[in-house]
Chain A
């Protein structure tokens, strides 16, 4: 059943690539949407078969592939990966729906989109380190192409920067996995934790640090974040949706699954430092967002800040904080996808994202009233207002981390407050006041604003995402029930290992 989640998008990509003749872009898009709907339905089918009471991997399937190399095709799913697979299914569909402007090379574009979706599913489902790495690298090239072919004016620079950063990330991760095999002498590349009985702490630390930097680039955490704002600025709206909503989650997923899961003891040693790193990342991302005048860069920097919460929660590693981390991954995926869609709608209508230029877009007759209203919902959710997904995740993260790392948690809370500052700046500048696009030349007088109206049907993905954000906010058990057993198990792992190391479970 899990294999189906890989086959649908990957075979679909091959099918689109081999589509004979010169098909119309709209037709290719409809085919891609149909495939992604089937993929989302398959993900929901997995959800039905999924038993939330089980903490470990389930629905496992696999065959030996290259056994001598330790490369096994083994898939499984647990409470950590289940929500992420669902988010990937939903956001890939949203990205395809939002790709209505693609006219050049539609077959390649949608095939790459499907490859990314399949590769991300593979990475979330992989139960083998090498298999994870293969899928992790597989999404890299399509995304590079999506930015460098269909991106903005400065796309070559941004795409190359993205490629270099993420390739370094991949090298570090592969190095750590191979290093683990060499130092432990076993080449099974399974997901079993490494304790000091198998490997000395002095050997664990460099491997963990390599993984941390590797995933820290992907997440991204300060100071490895510089590729992200550039990539977002140049990427088209659907690519930004995928990048922020799904691909960054590969980093945080790796953090929880591999950094914490493989090296629980070394992780516990490093945790205080990681918490401070998280707080620095949160504060840096928030302060940098305040300084932006491009709406998209502002949302991109907010991602840097909000992904820091996941590191904080992982450092604390309590049951509550880890559940908060899962909530944060899902809610950030939905909220940032929503915000990027809306920024894309504003850009489509006005041709600019400059906060010094846009004014009063909430005007009901000539502005973008629905986009503006959804933007207000999105920024309220991002700032963590009660009743929205952001509140649940931030509350769980802070509540779970406060006892372990009070200073880092309080600093991160300041970052949460700063979210309200920069997003209120955004809403106030771009959406409130009198509708105007400030003329470059102040002497040129008033300008008649003639923005095209946006169709309701084009806004359906944004409406659906905003609805999901509110549903999770009002009914957090819908997501919590799926993940709670898994995150509890992960939280207890260091405790159990410590107990085992000291000679018994008491």
Chain B
């Protein structure tokens, strides 16, 4: 009886690849190999991701604006539509898993890097909070009781709401960008991975200076949480912290590998976390509530037909489709990261000035060092 082929080596050893990654970044090459399958996977999965991000974005902005300081936000995922049929579909789980968006928001909020986080700790922000809480307490006896007892609590809720709104604005841009990418590919304007990366880079650069602002309406009065004077912008203050928190750092959720924090298996230094989407295990146990598997389920519901057919033709067809989506998703996220790095080089790559070349090389080396840290230790033969 012949044994079927079981193993197909698709990934080279990432730990040996830092130098290669740096070379590619400096040479302007893409991190992901340019093949027809990769193009189909990346564009297709980003299209479904765009559809999902649209729903996430609408919901996050709804939560931040309409469920503001609601201590029991039971219906926060329903976007204000309390139709019994919709509630039934929600309970029956025929819906988008907005929990994943919350997970990303919490990761961003907890890791807290960049200009948004700095503003949330500023005196100007505390002043805004005082005004808002003062207005809100007038007609809300529960908050009137809570605030004197726990003076930090409502402020923290407002910080969380501000992150929620900012993430909603970020995903609004990304959703449109990914859906435009799919359209450009259908129109024949994007035919290679290189063009995908350039398309995303152009989109990010075009939106880079978009202002990030957030106001809430309390008893008919508009109050700023993130005012225009804070000068928060799309790329530096939201996109980069998002990539840092969700793509790179992430959180060590319980999955197929258990972490023992007491044994220092989780670094005490948050900055050296590598549990983000780029490193996520594509083989989750699919246990209840594991966030990346929620996202894969959401994308599965919006998969373009062409990509779906391609998945059906390989390995287990429908049986392991979420794993395949996760693998394609990681490829596409490497393209997005690739575009972000390309868009933020300190100097033009073509520069002939040795000082500028050195600065670019240092920048590329720092990124290559982070990307080369694959979480492959869990693959070892631990006893």
Contacts and interface: CB of A to CB of B under 8 A. Distances in A.
A101 B4 CA distance: 13
A452 B5 CA distance: 9
Nearest to A434: B256
Contacts of A447: 7-9, 379
Interface in A340-364: 349-351, 356, 360, 362-364
Interface stretch (A223-231, A437-445, A472-480): A437-445
A442 B15 CA distance: 12
Interface in B319-377: 319-320, 322-323, 374, 376
Contacts of B319: 365, 453
Interface in A422-438: 433-438
Contacts of B286: 364-365
B316 interface: yes
B272 interface: no
B158 to A, nearest CB: 40
A198 interface: no
A366 interface: yes
A397 B329 CA distance: 57
A445 B257 contact: no
B4 A436 contact: no
Contact of A444 (B9, B284, B322): B9
B328 to A, nearest CB: 13
B381 A356 contact: yes
A447 B285 CA distance: 18
Nearest to B255: A434
- Of A349, A350, A365, A437, most buried by chain B (CB within 10 Å of CB) is A365
Contacts, number: 83
Interface string A100-112: 0100000000000
Nearest to B317: A453
Nearest to A443: B13
B315 A435 contact: no
Given A363-B285, A434-B379, A448 B4 contact: no
A365 B322 contact: yes
Interface string A349-387: 111000010001011111000000000000000000000
A450 B319 CA distance: 12
A358 to B, nearest CB: 11
Contacts of B145: none
Contact of B13 (A437, A444, A449, A453): A444
Nearest to A444: B13
Nearest to A447: B7
Contacts of B206: none
B7 to A, nearest CB: 5
Interface in B194-208: none
B380 interface: yes
Contacts of A453: 316, 319
Given A365-B323, A366-B283, A445 B378 contact: no
Contacts of B80: none
B14 interface: yes
Which 8 residue pairs of A and B lie closest in terms of their CB atoms, listed nearest first? Answer: A445-B13, A351-B3, A434-B256, A365-B320, A448-B10, A438-B381, A453-B316, A365-B323
10 contacts: A363-B285, A364-B286, A365-B320, A435-B283, A436-B379, A443-B13, A447-B7, A448-B7, A448-B8, A450-B7
